Amino acid sequence: MNALSVLTGEAPGAVDDQLRDSKPLPPIPSVLDVGVPSALARRRPDIRQSEASLHAATAGVGVAVAQFYPDISLTGDIGMRALDASYLTNWASHFYSAGPAISLPIFSGGRLTANLTLARAEQQAAVLNYRATVLNALREVEDALVAYRTDRVARDLLQDALNSAQVTWELSQNQYDHGLTSYISVLDAERTVLSDRQALVQSNVQLVNDIVAIYRALGGGWEQTLEQLPAPDVSTSPPPMPAALDRLADPRP
């Protein structure tokens, strides 16, 4: 609870009242809004950090190229100089100078070339890191979706098994009431029902954890407005990889 308080920007203990009492599991949405790759890149902090590093490395290449050109600037000075304070108001005590300043990188060719090579290498590394970050994000989304789909199928099978065990228990109880079987059969059927119920609860908890993993991979939040519908509709196809990254990651000069 303290970790959640700090995560939301509050002091420890701020969410204790909300989390102290037990509450039912959140409803499991039947439709998960995966979105498009551009939204994924805008929401995930690791992709945004990697993208910012790529922009910085690209700007560093521009700075390294600019150092090869002459630097022209205009400078000027103005002031007053006198041996006596009474002469400070005299125009003859004023002095000024103005003129251009030119810097030519004549004897720094090797250093500038090395700086440019280093800047381009850093840009290449930033491109590869950005591409790897995007691919890792797509993998996390795909893994989370596959886990959710698999656990959702398992939960549906457990629900069917519980329904069958419930019918078996009712039939056993009816047979016992009519003297056709012993109470041991009723207890065995009831034990199966309780075991299936416990497994179904655990499966629902796992589904909620899977949805949290999906929203975490997507960089999004919990959608409480989605209603629980009977048939799930989950898109498990990964977003396409931007082709521009493949061109940027080309190691050829």
Task: Report the DSSP beta bridge partners of residue 211.
Answer: none
Q: Is the pLDDT of residue 246 over 70?
A: no
244 by Cβ neighbours in 10 Å (0-12 / 13-18 / 19+) ranks as: exposed
At 248, the pLDDT band (50, 70, 90 cuts) reads very low
Q: Is the pLDDT of residue 242 over 50?
A: no
Give the pLDDT of residue 148.
92
Summarize pLDDT for 85-136 with one digit per residue, the tens.
666 666 666 767 776 777 777 777 688 889 999 999 999 999 999 999 999 9
Q: Where are the alpha helices (DSSP H) in 67-182?
A: 109-177
Average pLDDT, the chain: 80
* Cα 60 to chain centroid, rounded: 26
Distance CA 192, CA 248 (A): 59
- DSSP label at residue 71: E
Give the pLDDT of residue 38.
66
Q: Is the pLDDT of residue 157 over 90?
A: yes
Q: Is the pLDDT of residue 74 over 60?
A: yes
Token pair, residue 122, equals: 């850093």
**CA nearest to 240, candidates 33, 30, 41, 32:** 41
Global confidence as pTM: 0.66
Residue with tokens 């989304």: 141
For 89, the 3-state DSSP assignment is coil
**CA nearest to 208, candidates 63, 25, 80:** 25
**CA nearest to 142, candidates 236, 16, 23:** 236
Distance CA 16, CA 2 (A): 8
Task: 112-115: list long-range contacts, CB under 8 Å, 24+ apart.
Answer: 112/64, 112/67, 112/68, 115/64, 115/67
**148 close to 234: Cβ distance less than 8 angstroms:** yes
**178 close to 71: Cβ distance less than 8 angstroms:** no
Domain 33-52+125-221+233-253 is of which CATH architecture? Up-down Bundle (1.20)
Summarize pLDDT for 203-225 with one digit per residue, the tens.
999 999 998 898 888 887 554 43
Residue with tokens 């990254």: 245
Give the pLDDT of residue 39.
74
- Which sequence spans correspond to the domains of the chain? 33-52+125-221+233-253
Distance CA 119, CA 115 (A): 6
Distance CA 71, CA 218 (A): 47
